[in-house]
Amino acid sequence: MDVKLACMTLPYAAHPFERALEGIARAGYRYVAFGTPHRNASVVDPEDQASVERVRELLTRFGLEPAMLLAHAQMHHTEPVEGALQQIRLAHALGIPEVNALGFWGYHRFPDEPLSAEEYETNSREFAAFFARLAQEAERLGVVVSLKPHTGNTATAKLLRGTVDAIGSPSVKACYDPGNISYYEGLDPLPGFESVVPLLASFIAKDHETGLRRYAFPVPGEGDMPFAAMFRQMAEAGFSGPVVVEKLDGDGTPLPLEELDRRVARARTNLERLLVQASET
């Protein structure tokens, strides 16, 4: 399967952005996803051209191509739309084809106080209207906005498909994250996946050791997520988008930098093997 195997800089959040790019490049990746803070500071200011140019120069220096811009904080339907539009324009300026967002949070207080049915429906309507507006700018600039499972209206394959369909734009697609479905919902992420595959812009290769809200995220390919079966479905559908490494910190204990580098490299090796096998079966 000819995909863009990428790694987020997120695992290196406690380290400088430049060091994240260095580790990812040294591990053999050609593609990178970024947008979350490093050392609690933004890596790029879309209003500062010098900041944008610095990111562009770093990507060139390390030979990495940006596959995804993470805009989870900015692309929220309760926030001003201009901040979300700015992220789409930033992606266009940096040549990033996809901006990744989350569905709305399904809880007042996780995990014991979910939204009421009425609150859920209100959020769903407002969310769809917000992203339909973003879709107009995304389509104009040739950028795709993708939605990732994170409780609420993207909690499962069925809900994710319904949310994308409700927005109704070819510029808004799905990003599947089996690890989030396993962690937040305690569900097997494979049932229903076939309904999402036709709308899939990207895939988050987040592995998880099965158990509702069990914080256990091993190196991708070494946990319980059914990557092999999912990759087979993606291969059959001709998927060629990013497959992205996000988490590999196990139980969340901070990792020495050298161990983080080793896990990032191991994730690439594991996923390359699984992707090749999916194409052969």
Tens digits of per-residue pLDDT, 82-93?
999 999 999 999
Long-range pairs, 35-39, Cβ under 8 A, ≥24: 35/68, 35/69, 35/70, 35/71, 35/72, 35/87, 35/100, 36/8, 36/9, 36/10, 36/70, 36/72, 37/13, 38/9, 38/12, 38/13, 38/14, 39/13, 39/14, 39/15
Residue pLDDT, tens place only, 118-141: 999 999 999 999 999 999 999 999
Name the pLDDT band for 59 (thresholds 50, 70, 90): very high
| Res 281 pLDDT > 80 | no
d(CA 166, CA 164) in angstroms, rounded, equals 5
Q: Please state the three-class secondary structure of 11-29 as a single string.
A: HHCCCCHHHHHHHHHHCCC
* Percent of the chain residues topping a pLDDT of 70: 100
pLDDT of residue 1: 80
pLDDT of residue 2: 87
Contact in structure between 249 and 11 (CB atoms under 8 Å): yes
pLDDT of residue 12: 98
The CATH code of the domain that includes 253 is 3.20.20.150
At 180, give phi and psi (nearest 5°).
Answer: -70, -40
Domain boundaries, position 97: 4-280
Name the pLDDT band for 15 (thresholds 50, 70, 90): very high
pLDDT of residue 13: 98
Total domains in the chain come to 1
Spacing of C-alpha 113 from chain mean position = 26
| Res 278 pLDDT > 80 | yes
At 128, give phi and psi (nearest 5°).
Answer: -60, -40
Q: What is the mean pLDDT of the chain?
A: 97
Q: Give me the mean pLDDT over the 162-172 stretch.
A: 98
Q: Give me the mean pLDDT over the 61-78 stretch.
A: 97
